Amino acid sequence: MRVSKRLLHIFALCFKCRQKESDTITRVNEIRIEKEMENFVKKFFFIGGGSVLLLLAMLCGAFFASPLIASAHSVATSTTTTTTAKTHSGKAKEEHPLRAFTRNHSDEIVDQIAPQLHLTSAQLTQKLRSGERLVKIAHDQKVSTANLKKIIVTSIDTVVGKELSAGKITQAHANLLKTLVQKHPLVVGGALHHHYTKK
């Protein structure tokens, strides 16, 4: 009987130990599952949150970029239209540098040319205002076209030199004007004619 009781007691202890071991394993499994669920939830929210932020960024970008793109397109269209309009109207073409210089310094240029045509500045100015062209004026004064060209070149060189010394034009601009007058001296005569006949 005593042996039986001891065996029963041992079996009971073994059963309790196994029960405790089973409970421990179950608890460990539960803890592991909880941690895995927690990690899954964290990953889900991390990925989901990142996706939401990305979507919001795209929406905000589209919201703010659309007006800018539309504005840029509008400006580009406006610029193209303006440029085309100017081209058709003939205003887009830049004025010839030598012609512009002659127009802006007409009186000084006349002062240089007149004595070489045996005229005063007032006489030459009056003839130009009456509509006479410089070539005809020179012909009437017994000055050939070839000599007139030389007179124009030296006159422009003198006025350009004065402007350069006064710091009103750059050396590059002076060089350009001198080159242009060498190639196209009669442009000066045409510019003077248009300038004075408009006054």
Contacts of 127 (CB under 8 A, 6+ apart): 119, 137
Tell me the torsion sign for CA atoms 126, 131, 132, 134: positive
User: Is 117 in the same domain as 55?
Assistant: no
Domain final residue, candidates 31, 61, 93: 93
Task: Mark which of 74, 93, 112 sits at the end of a domain.
Answer: 93
**Among candidate residues 62, 93, 124, the one where a domain is terminated:** 93
The stretches of 90-144 forming alpha helices (DSSP H) are 97-104, 106-113, 121-129, 134-140
3/71 same-domain check: yes
Residue 77 and residue 138 in one domain: no
Residues 144 and 77 occupy one common structural domain: no
Residues 160 and 69 in one domain: no
The pLDDT assigned to 32 comes to 72
Q: Which residues contact 178 (CB under 8 A, 6 or more apart)?
A: 156, 157, 160
| pLDDT at 83 (0 to 100) | 38
Instruction: Examine the domain organization and report whether 164 and 106 are in the same domain.
Output: yes
Q: Identify the pLDDT of residue 170.
A: 96
Altogether, the residues listed in the chain come to a count of 199
Give the Cα separation of 44 and 36 in Å (integer).
Answer: 12
Residues 101 and 80 in one domain: no
The C-alpha atoms of residue 5 and residue 192 are separated, in whole angstroms, by: 140
**Is residue 42 exposed (0-12), middle (13-18) or buried (19+ Cβ within 10 Å)?**
exposed
Domain total for the chain? Answer: 2
DSSP-derived 3-state class of residue 132: coil
34 and 117 both lie in a single domain: no
- Shared domain check, 84 and 25: yes
What is the full per-residue pLDDT of the chain (199 aa) written as tens digits? 544 555 555 655 555 556 655 566 666 666 777 777 777 656 655 565 566 566 666 765 555 545 544 444 443 333 333 333 344 444 546 778 999 999 999 999 999 999 999 999 999 999 999 999 999 999 999 999 999 999 999 999 999 999 999 999 999 999 999 999 999 999 999 999 999 998 6
CA–CA gap between residue 169 and residue 149 (Å, rounded): 23
What is the domain extent for residue 8? 1-93
